[in-house]
Amino acid sequence: MKPRHVLISIFAVLLFGFLLSREKIDPKLEMETGNYYFNNGAYDLEKAEEAFRRALKADPKILWGHYQLARIYFVKGEKELALEEINKELEANPENLRTLYVRGLIYGSSGRLAEAEADFRRFILWAPAEWAGYNDLAWILAKEGKYADAEKVAGEGIKEAIGGEENAWLWNSLGVAQLNLKKYNDAEKSFRKALKLARNMTENEWARAYPGNNPEESARGLDAFKIAVQANFNTAVDRDGI
């Protein structure tokens, strides 16, 4: 091969490689891939994280990008990274107030109760028909020792949220508040309702409430919830032991 032809061939190879390296990443496709691996068909947190990062590399402000990364880190117990990512989502997409719910969970699990309370209250104002905001606000208020407020919020969730009347979590939260207020008869009734609903709950229903969690843990999570509600009910009935 003549030197000129060799140079042309080398140039063609280099150009082809350059074009491949410049191949445009489709951020929406990467988000779909991440969501698939984040318990929307499969469960692989590493592959999901990689896909979300590729999406953000192509579009740093893509909706749900930092949000989903925050959820992954939260599930993995990496709370500082989770908080960093959820704040980035709120900064990039301030209209996405669902971010407040996830940040409330992060704050609450980190002992930053006042901040968690503020976020859950804002979330409820934004999504008053969703039960989770009421339930987790009641959880935070109970941790703060504000049992009367927790009772009020759980009761509001039962009345205002879609499906609230048939929500085991809300009835259990209501019972916990009432138990701490020494309203034993009311607590017993609330726990009885929660226990009945929990016993009839399926693993799929449990998993829908925790979509980012490992599906293999759904059975254990549901069983643990039933045991906790039963223990709460027993405590309300056995008042002499309080």
Q: What is the CATH number of the domain that holds 158?
A: 1.20.58
Domain of 220, in residue numbers = 147-242
171 located within any domain: yes
At residue 18, the pLDDT reads: 42
- pLDDT band, residue 24 (cuts 50/70/90): confident
Q: Please provide residue 200's backbone torsions phi and psi, each rounded to the nearest 5 degrees.
A: -90, 0
pTM of the model: 0.88
Got the DSSP string for 167-188?
-HHHHHHHHHHHHHTT-HHHHH
232 located within any domain: yes
Contacts of 206 (CB under 8 A, 6+ apart): 218, 221, 222, 225
- Strands annotated E in 37-160: none
Kindly tell me the burial class for residue 175, based on how many C-beta atoms sit within 10 Å of its own C-beta (0-12, 13-18, 19 or more).
Answer: buried
105 located within any domain: no
136 located within any domain: no
Number of domains in the chain: 1
Q: What tens digit of pLDDT does each residue of 88-111 get?
A: 999 999 999 999 999 999 999 999
72 located within any domain: no
Q: What tens digit of pLDDT does each residue of 217-227 get?
A: 888 999 999 99
Task: Answer for the pair 43, 214: CB distance below 8 angstroms, yes or no.
Answer: yes
Give the residue-averaged pLDDT of 185-190: 97
